[in-house]
């Protein structure tokens, strides 16, 4: 009888010993998920602390920052699958961080009649249908149309189609502004990075004389960034151009100002800080504009000063690799 009890006791001890490593692995998995949740939350909250070492990982992270929200349901599902209460609680960190950064974008926009409607569009230098694109833009009935990558061959087509609705326009190099309201004080804005020839002109400034008062309007197309194994996220020229544009905006006299342009970066990208820090960014709507076939980021921007973008949305695709972006702009309640 003692032997049997001893044997039974040994069996129970052996069973508990067999379960012990399995339970240890479960706790390990919980720790891994917890660590991942904390990491994602920290990247969302402290993305500015990621150093700009070789390859510029900080700017690359910030270019796609909203997509980190996809990690939240994945981590939550894994935590439930593993039955880890600690990991499930840890998922609240990235969830709260994401909502703090982007939750406002999910709120409904202001449907009140705007003071101005502006459309920003990189029409694409390889656009096979500039006439169709111009007609689509004219159909928006916007007060202001800002276009980039206007080639000498395509520019006359845009001018001809838009002229009936937009009697006022200005073109500097490959950027243009079409307006329903008179334009004055039109001038180029030199945002050329070092080493770029004088024929490179991608910035203009004009005063739009609207029924709600004069508004300074900037149109800009910053240099493209390059992503590759050799140099990582190469944004040196774009960042230099952003500093020049930011200096021009800083020198602008006080009053309403609208910047429309393909800035080749998101508003969270630190490389655009010289521009974004001086203006008000839209508080709603993701409006991813690039690439048109599968939009992943909004690099086409509408930023304001002494005015507010109350709603921002993308429009149907044209022949460009960018989607047009339409912004409702109001001077009511502006800072």
Residue 291: cis peptide before it, omega within 30 degrees of 0? yes
Q: What pLDDT score does 18 carry?
A: 41
CB–CB of 119/142 below 8 Å?
yes
Q: How distant is the alpha carbon of residue 333 from its chain centre?
A: 24
Q: In what order do the strands lie in the sheet with 213-221?
A: 183-188, 203-210, 213-221, 257-262, 300-305
What is residue 333's predicted lDDT score, i.e. its pLDDT?
Answer: 45
Going from the C-alpha of 200 to that of each of 105, 173, 192, 271, 328, the distances in angstroms are: 36, 7, 7, 21, 31
Positions of E strands within the chain: 116-122, 144-148, 168-172, 175-179, 183-188, 203-210, 213-221, 226-228, 232-234, 257-262, 300-305, 308-314, 325-330
Q: For the whole model, what pTM was predicted?
A: 0.82
Rounded Cα distance between 301 and 148, Å, is 12
How far apart (Å, rounded) are the C-alpha atoms in residues 262 and 241? 12
pLDDT averages per 10-residue partition of the chain, 335 residues: 48 47 54 91 87 73 86 92 90 91 75 88 97 98 98 97 98 98 98 91 98 96 82 84 98 97 94 96 85 95 95 96 97 52
What 3 state SS string does 60-122 have? HHHHCHHHHHHHHHHHHHHHHHHCCHHHHHHCHHHHHHHHHHHHHHHCCCCCCCCCEEEEEEE
Supply the pLDDT for residue 227.
73
Nearest partner of 144 among 114, 112, 102, 105, judged by Cα: 114
pLDDT of residue 55: 67
Q: Are strands 116-122 and 144-148 parallel, antiparallel or unpaired?
A: parallel
């Amino acid at each position: 009888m003692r032997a049997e009890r001893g044997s039974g006791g040994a069996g129970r001890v052996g069973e508990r010993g067999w379960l012990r490593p399995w339970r240890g692995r479960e706790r390990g998995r919980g720790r891994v998920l917890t660590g991942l949740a904390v990491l994602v939350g920290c990247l969302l909250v402290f993305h500015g602390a990621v150093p700009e070492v070789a390859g510029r990982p900080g700017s690359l992270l910030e270019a796609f920052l909203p997509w980190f929200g996809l990690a939240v349901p994945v981590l939550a599902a894994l935590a439930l699958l593993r039955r880890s209460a600690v990991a499930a609680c840890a998922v609240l960190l990235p969830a709260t961080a994401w909502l703090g950064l982007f939750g406002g974008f999910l709120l409904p926009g202001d449907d009140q009649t705007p003071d101005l409607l502006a459309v920003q569009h990189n029409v694409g230098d390889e656009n096979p249908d500039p006439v169709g694109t111009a007609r689509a833009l004219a159909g928006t009935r916007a007060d202001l149309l800002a276009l980039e990558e206007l080639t000498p061959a395509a520019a006359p087509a845009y001018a001809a189609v838009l002229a009936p609705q937009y009697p006022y326009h200005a073109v500097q190099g490959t950027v243009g502004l079409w307006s329903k309201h008179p334009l004055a004080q039109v001038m180029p804005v030199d945002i050329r990075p070092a080493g770029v020839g004088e024929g490179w002109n991608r910035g203009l400034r004009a005063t739009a004389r609207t029924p709600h008062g004069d508004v300074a309007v900037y149109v800009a197309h910053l240099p493209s960034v390059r992503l590759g194994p050799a140099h990582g996220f190469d944004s040196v020229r774009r960042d230099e151009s952003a500093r020049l544009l930011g200096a021009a905006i800083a020198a602008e006299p006080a009053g309403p100002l609208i910047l429309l342009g393909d800035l080749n970066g998101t508003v969270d990208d630190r490389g655009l800080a010289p521009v974004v820090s001086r203006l008000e960014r839209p508080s709603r709507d993701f409006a991813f504009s690039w690439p048109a076939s599968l939009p992943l980021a909004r690099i086409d921007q509408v930023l304001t000063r002494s005015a507010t973008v109350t709603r921002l949305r993308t429009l149907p695709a044209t022949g460009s690799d960018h989607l047009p972006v339409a912004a409702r702009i109001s001077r009511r309640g502006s800072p």
